[in-house]
A and B are shown apart, each in its own frame.
Chain A
Amino acid sequence: MRFIIIYLVGVIFGTGIVVSGMANPAKVINFFDVAGTWDPSLAFVMGGALITTAIGYRLVFGRSRPLFEGKFMLPTARNLDARLIGGSAVFGIGWGIAGFCPGGALPALGTGRIDVIAFVGAMLIGIFAARHLQSLSRPKAQAA
C-alpha cells in the first residue's frame, strides 16, 4: 500500500516535469539564453513549484510527524562552505552544456530515448566518481 502511494507521488512529479518542459533540454537552455532565443517558461515552473511547496510544507510541518515515518528527515547542514558553492557551480556548467538536470532527466527516461539514457548513465558515473573521491577525504554527506 505504502509502495503504491509513493509510486503515485512519483507519477505526479514525473508528469509535472514533462508537462512543465523541464525534461526538454531545448526549452531549458532557451530559458538561460536571454541574449538569444529566450523562452521564459521555466520561471513559471519554478514559481508554481515554489509557491505550492512553500504553502504545502507550512501545512505539513504543522503535524508532529509524517504519516508513515516517525519524524521529518530534513537536511541539517547550515554552513555555506566551498563544497556547496563549488559543487553547485559545477552542476550549473553541466546543466548548461547538456540541458538536463537530474529531476528533468529521470522522468524523461520513461520515453526510452537513447540520448536520455546516455545522459543518465554519464551522470551516474559522475556521481560514483565524486562519492568515491569524497570517501577518500571526508565522511560522506547526504544529498538534499
Chain B
Amino acid sequence: MIETVFTPWQSLGGGVLIGLSAVLLMLIVGRVMGATGVLTGIFAPASTADFSWRVALLLGMVTGPAVFWLITGGMPEITVPASMPMLLIGGGIVGVGVTYGSGCTSGHGVCGMARFSPRSIAATLTFMATTAATVFVVRHVIGA
C-alpha cells in the first residue's frame, strides 16, 4: 500500500477547475463534460463540427500536465499501484462499464449529479460502491 498526502485545498481547487470547464462547455456548445461521451462521440460524429469540438477538447485535456509543469516546475505525481496486466484488465473493464453505464465520474458524477439527474445519481452511487468494494477485496482480501 502507498500512503498519499491529504491535499484538501489543492483538490478543492482542482475540483473547482473541473466544474468551471463543465460550465463553460455547456455555455459554449451546450454539451455535458463527460470524458466517456466526449471520447466515444469521436468514433461516430454527427457532423464535422461535432467531431471538431471533441478533438479540440481532448487536445486541451492532454495539455493539462504541461500547464501543471509551467505553474509548478514539476510533473504531476502519478503513482500506479496496479501491475501492467491488472492495469490492462482494469482498462478493458472500465471501457465496457462506461459504455453500458452511459458515463463515468465526470459525466454522471459531476455533470449529471449537478443537474440532479436520477440516472446519474443512481449510476454514481453504484460505481462508488463497487469501486470501494473492489479496492477492499484487492487490498485486504487478496492482499495485493
Majority-rule SS of A interface residues = helix
Query: A3 near B22 (CB under 8 angstroms)?
Result: no
| Chain A 105-123 per-residue mask, 1 if CB under 8 angstroms from chain B, else 0 | 0111111010110111111
Q: Quick one: given A19-B14, A74-B115, are A2 and B84 in contact (CB under 8 Å)?
A: no
Count the A residues whose beta carbon is within 8 Å of the partner chain — how many?
Answer: 118
Bound CA span A49–B107, Å: 12
- CB-CB under 8 A from A14, the residues of chain B are 60-65, 67
Q: Quick one: given A26-B2, A52-B20, A80-B119, are A110 and B14 in contact (CB under 8 Å)?
A: no
Bound CA span A35–B5, Å: 16
Q: Which residue on chain A has the smallest CB distance to residue B67?
A: A15
Majority-rule SS of B interface residues = helix
Q: Does A139 contact B (CB under 8 A)?
A: no
Bound CA span A94–B124, Å: 14
- CB-CB under 8 A from A118, the residues of chain B are 84, 87-88, 91
Q: Which residue on chain B has the smallest CB distance to residue A19?
A: B14
Name the contact of B19 in the complex, choosing from A49, A90, A119 (C-beta under 8 A).
Answer: A49
Q: Could you name 29 residue pairs across A and B whose Cβ atoms are closer than 8 Å?
A: A4-B56, A9-B21, A10-B57, A15-B17, A15-B64, A19-B68, A20-B18, A21-B4, A22-B18, A32-B131, A44-B15, A52-B22, A57-B111, A69-B29, A75-B112, A89-B127, A92-B128, A97-B82, A98-B90, A102-B105, A103-B35, A110-B64, A118-B91, A119-B87, A124-B95, A129-B92, A129-B96, A143-B102, A144-B102
Q: Tell me the A residues contacting B by CB distance below 8 Å.
A: 2-27, 29-30, 32-37, 39-42, 44-54, 56-57, 59-60, 63, 65-69, 71-75, 77-80, 83-104, 106-111, 113, 115-116, 118-131, 134, 141-144
